[in-house]
Amino acid sequence: MPARIEDHSRTILDTVVVVDGAPIVTEKKVDALTKVLKKLFSEAGRVREDGFYMPMSPDGKSKGYLFIGFETVEQADNAVRGLNNKRLDNKHTLLVNKFTDIEKYGDDDEEDEEYIEPPEEPYVEQEHLRSWLKEPNSVDQFILYKGESVGVFWNRKSEVPEVNVNRSNWTETYVAWSPLGTYLCSVHHQGVQLWGGDEFGRKARFIHPGVQLLDFSPCENYLVTWSPEPIQLIPENSPMRGSFPFTTADEGKQIVVWNVQTGMPVRTFSSAVGPDSENGPGPQGPKKISWPAFKWTSDDKYLARVVPGQQIFVYETPGMGLLDKKSIRIDGVVDFEFSPAVIKGTGKKDEPEHVISYWTPEMNNQSARVTLMTIPSKEVIRTRNLFNVAECRLHWQNSGAFLCVKVVRFTKTKKSTFTNLEFFRLNEKNIPIEVVELKETVINFAWEPAGDRLVIISTSDVPTAPGAPPGARPPPGKVPGMPGSGGPVKTSVSFYGLERSKGVNGQFRQIMTVERKSSNSIFWSSKGRFVVVAAVGGTSNNTGELDFWDFDFEGEKKEIPGAEEVPANLTLMASGQHYQLTDIEWDPTGRYVATSSSMWGRAMETGYRIWDLKGQLLREEHVERFKQFLWRPRPPTLLTKDQQREVRKNLREYSKVFDQEDIAEESQASKELIAQRLRLLEEWRAWRKVVEAELAEERGGVVPLAFKSEDDGTEIIEEIVDEVISEKEEEIED
Amino acid sequence: MRPILLKGHERPLTQLKYNKEGDLLFSTARDKIVNVYYSHNGERLGTYTGHQGALWSVDVDPTSTIAATGAADNTIKLWEVRSGRCIHTWNFPTAVKVVQFNEDGNMLLAITEQRMGYQGTVYVFPVIIDVEAKQAEEPIIKFSSPENKFTKAGWSYLNKWIITGHLDGTVSKYDAKTGELLQKVVVHEKEVTDLQFAPDMTYFITTSKDKTARILDTKNLKIMKTFVADAPLNTGAITPLKDYVILGGGQDAKDVTTTGSRQGKFEARFYHKIFEDEIGRLKGHFGPLNHIAVHPAGTGFASGGEDGYVRVHHFDKSYFDFLYDVERMRPE
């Protein structure tokens, strides 16, 4: 009997959690606090009627801790998992623990009274995760995924790439690099794995059954994964349960945000956005998911997603709680983008501020509007009203100095559309806006990285269905900046730059327009200045034209009427072709361009090509069942702005050294090649000599019919010629 | 020089064969006939008719007296080269894929297809080089390889061994007198499509659907050279006189309709035999190349395609003059 009582009390105690870190309040506020906490903890489970106990100190204040008893052990477990480290407000974070755990780990065990120093763990050398950066010539790595094999290779320009690692069945669906190149991600049905270091050992595992999509935060601190299968809990008694990271609170969720360092989930979300989303999964079946599901600020501090038409949810890391515990309600909001830049706090606090831009369509007698708001202070810093808007796209320049809003507007008849570009200048006082009006429909747009120049591809024959009616949402799942269909649409490519006279920024001016192209995509070098404009797509009518442009060509400067003040000397360096190419990627140092045609793009002739930045083809390889070519990204440079300027100033000096190194390497290579050929030639001849001697001996002088030659191939014509030298008649006398 | 285009067949070519002197060129195709041409101008000497099925193989004895053909009508026929008269027929349960005379011209090697419960079998028949003589009905030896289909076969020097290529990419060496399997090596990942010997038969080249060709030492079946192409290979030949190999192939015949001709890769490719580098390509066929034969004197070659054409090439001076720097440095 005592055993059973013991058992019973154990169960009771198991349902109790200890909550610490609660605010210490005076008697007057106790009721309010109780109410708040009761509500909070009822999220995890049902609190027993007498299960709420908050001890008070004699002076009438609360003690900052309390006990809560749930109806079942599971609910208590839930509360610990879900609410431990819960931020109540700026000052208070709740610590939730099981009552029995306090006993278990508490110091009331007598035998543990004596402090025993834990044995010092031997230092284990950790692999250098960025060792590839130590390559003296900054040679870049890339992934080649073909058939079932995934390999990481060093770029050897025109030579065969040098293998770093090559494994078959490394991934089940695709591979990806983390944004700074530290990890290689492989995607399996069970989840995602990260690999890194010299030998690409496994660095982390994220169990997420059926995972299909993944996205990293910009600083690689977090990983977001999505699976079409809602999370299902593994039965308690399964041996797998121990390593299964999810709890009841995560059941049915599809999106998981992971901490890359710990390998544990930080928070889970469901795919259908928002609990009150009346436009949720419609009757047309499962809704297409738009990916990435979350947009991050560049410092990993905030992540956000939009419930179209209603609100933007902004979450704060590391707690993953809603910013100020509520979403930002914006009626009609369609889409938003974070500025890539972090700006200094505006007065009140020194906390760094982020800028979020979003747009709302025309509704309720209000005009369409683009708004810039700071996060976390939620101050609106600029709004812009727009009319007859079909659609907006928000393009931030990557240092956050400019925001270009591409506005697709209806003409007066509402039958066709045209495009306006609204440039917001974030770095100038009051954020002035400049408008560039275009007659055509813009199908692609790209800023120069860290620059103030841009390329636009536009067309006069509207490629896809005309703009959606006002208020309609853009189709989810469509990646901004990617053209819809790669049909044989004639496009024109325009180049713009910002005027600058005497250091003062002028207007955006058109530098050049090239008509009658079939290009649909723009690829800037990561360092700016060079840009590749190409026709991308696996369709059979794609010619795969590639144009390599240089904005600062070092040659005679051509005067462009109307854009004399724009600091640019635009030149087409070369044009190339890669039939049915599906992907283009610049290497992270901006020296090479890789074009590839993947079997996923339904291209027939699969393989990849490597070009240099001048558009010279260095290497071409046809690969059967070719899937992916991915340059390994590099983390941002550690050089200061001044050091970078210094490098740029002395570029000529450096380039001399590099040229010499190249020549030395080349002559070394050709020497090696000649030596290699000489060796092959001599080996072959030596072998022939041995074989021929052996054969002659075995034949023993007998020549088979097949080698017997009757005439050596030359015919010997015997001719008998009688020549009369002299005639003499003699009489012979008997 | 412009190739001579021979349009003697209506169906895909299967094999080409120069006689010992190289003045005659024999061709077989799936259209049941054998054509014989003068190789220097492409004039047709005649056509041998009599087979009831597609022809797979042809060979001619070293004296150019008798030609042998193997066909899908399950027969081997011997023909008088001069008149085109059929002088003998051997019957088999399945199609004959390869016929080849030995270096003395007194034995004929044949392989039959594995089909309808019959195993693929290697036969060796005695042959008397005389159009009036009665040929023996029974083979000297026959042997089969139940688990491993034969695709190609050839005699080694001194009639010592029979080298066979297989569907699984392996190459085997059999004792030609006893039929004993002496050696078996994995050479290719896919089917061996051709097996042609160097003039003195001490080494041979194999081609495969795995897009590679390899040169093997006849004595120990060691892989000596590997040539990598970008399309499945159907045929390869070693050139006398110059150290080249010529490879041919292209997209599989069954896939050709689904791709454009620019992707078919229907070119004859020249590789350097010793350095394994590709040195040139020759366009012309509009279907995969099924067979390449090199003139015994090394002065030209003929290619037969799935398109039904034979192209006879005579090499230009530049072909003979071409040398690598190292070859110039170390003349033989």
CATH code of A33's domain: 3.30.70.330
Homologous superfamily (CATH) for B4-329: YVTN repeat-like/Quinoprotein amine dehydrogenase (2.130.10.10)
Question: Is position A372 within any domain?
Answer: no
pLDDT score of A278? 38
Closest chain B residue to A606 measured between Cα atoms? Answer: B263
SS (H, E, C) A346-407: CCCCCCCEEEEEEEECCECCECEEEEEEEECCCCEEEEEEECCEEEEEEEECCCCCEEEEEE
Q: Structure tokens of A402?
A: 């400019």
Helix A651-699 to helix A641-649 angle (10° resolution) is 70
Mutation test of the interface with chain A: which of B202, B203, B277, choosing the one with the most A Cβ atoms within 10 A? B202
Q: What is the pTM of this model?
A: 0.67
* Res. A41: pLDDT tops 50: yes
Q: List pLDDT tens digits, range A297-310.
A: 988 889 998 888 88
Which H helix or E strand runs over A31? helix A27-42
Between residues B73 and A559, which one has the greater pLDDT?
Answer: B73
pLDDT score of A465? 40
Mutation test of the interface with chain A: which of B17, B65, B200, choosing the one with the most A Cβ atoms within 10 A? B200
Distance from CA of A150 to the nearest CA of B (A): 20
Q: Tell me which residue of B247, B248, B272 sits closest to B322, measured CA to CA.
A: B272
Report how far apart, in Å, the C-alpha atoms of A621 and of each of A586, A628, B161 are. Answer: 17, 13, 40
By Cβ distance, the residue of B104, B273, B326 closest to A678 is: B326
Q: List pLDDT tens digits, range B257-300.
A: 555 545 667 889 999 999 998 998 898 888 899 999 999 999 99
Amino acid (1-letter code) at residue B22: G
* Res. A684: pLDDT tops 50: yes
Q: Do B20 and A622 touch (CB under 8 A)?
A: no
pLDDT score of A482? 39
Q: How many domains does chain A have?
A: 2
Closest chain A residue to B330 measured between Cα atoms? Answer: A678
Between residues B255 and A450, which one has the greater pLDDT?
Answer: A450
Closest chain A residue to B262 measured between Cα atoms? Answer: A605
Pairwise CA distance, residues A569 & A573, whole Å: 12
Domain boundary at A49, A73, A103, which? A103
* Res. B154: pLDDT tops 90: yes
Percentage helix, strand, coil for chain B under 3-state DSSP, each rounded to 5? 5, 50, 45
pLDDT score of B257? 56
Query: Helical H runs in A45-156?
Result: 73-83, 99-105
pLDDT score of B108? 94
**Mean pLDDT value across chain B:** 90
Question: Is position A64 within any domain?
Answer: yes
Q: Do A698 and B62 touch (CB under 8 A)?
A: no
pLDDT score of A240? 66
Question: Is position A636 within any domain?
Answer: no
* Res. B183: pLDDT tops 90: yes
A538-542, A569-573, A663-667: least confidently modelled range:
A538-542
List CB contacts (< 8 A) between A707 and chain B.
Answer: 103
Quick check: B329 contacting A, CB < 8 Å? yes
Amino acid (1-letter code) at residue A19: V
Q: Do B104 and A706 touch (CB under 8 A)?
A: yes
Q: Structure tokens of B278?
A: 């590709």
Q: Do A678 and B329 touch (CB under 8 A)?
A: yes
Q: Where are the domains of chain B?
A: 4-329
* Res. B5: pLDDT tops 60: yes
pLDDT score of A81? 80
**Mean pLDDT value across chain A:** 81
| Percent of chain B scoring above 70 in pLDDT | 96
Distance from CA of A200 to the nearest CA of B (A): 29
A376 alpha-carbon distance from chain centroid: 25
Instruction: Dihedral sign for Cα A634, A636, A639, A641, please.
Output: positive
* Res. A469: pLDDT tops 50: no
| Mean pLDDT, residues A61-88 | 83
List CB contacts (< 8 A) between B275 and chain A.
Answer: 677, 680-681
Percentage helix, strand, coil for chain A under 3-state DSSP, each rounded to 5? 20, 35, 45
Question: Is position A75 within any domain?
Answer: yes
Closest chain B residue to A705 measured between Cα atoms? Answer: B104
Structural domain harbouring A11 = 2-103
* Res. A734: pLDDT tops 70: no
Q: Do A705 and B330 touch (CB under 8 A)?
A: no
Closest chain A residue to B211 measured between Cα atoms? Answer: A624
Task: Identify the residue whose tokens are 């009599």.
Answer: B50
By Cβ distance, the residue of A604, A681, A692 closest to B263 is: A604
Q: Do A681 and B330 touch (CB under 8 A)?
A: yes
pLDDT score of A241? 67
Task: Identify the residue whose tokens are 């795969």.
Answer: A544
CB A409 within 8 A of CB A418: yes
pLDDT score of A543? 76
Between residues A285 and A206, which one has the greater pLDDT?
Answer: A206
Q: List pLDDT tens digits, range A236-289.
A: 667 666 677 887 778 888 899 999 988 888 888 887 654 333 343 333 334 566
- Of the pLDDT bands very low, low, confident and very high (cuts 50, 70, 90), residue A80 is confident
Question: Is position A640 within any domain?
Answer: no
* Res. A719: pLDDT tops 80: no
By Cβ distance, the residue of A674, A684, A692 closest to B325 is: A674
CB A154 within 8 A of CB A176: no
Quick check: B326 contacting A, CB < 8 Å? yes
List CB contacts (< 8 A) between B21 and chain A.
Answer: 713
Quick check: A654 contacting B, CB < 8 Å? no
pLDDT score of A324? 83
ipTM, two decimals, is: 0.90
Q: List pLDDT tens digits, range B188-235.
A: 999 999 999 999 899 999 999 999 999 999 999 999 999 999 889 999
A159-173, A306-320, A563-577: least confidently modelled range:
A563-577
By Cβ distance, the residue of A674, A704, A713 closest to B104 is: A704
pLDDT score of B289? 93
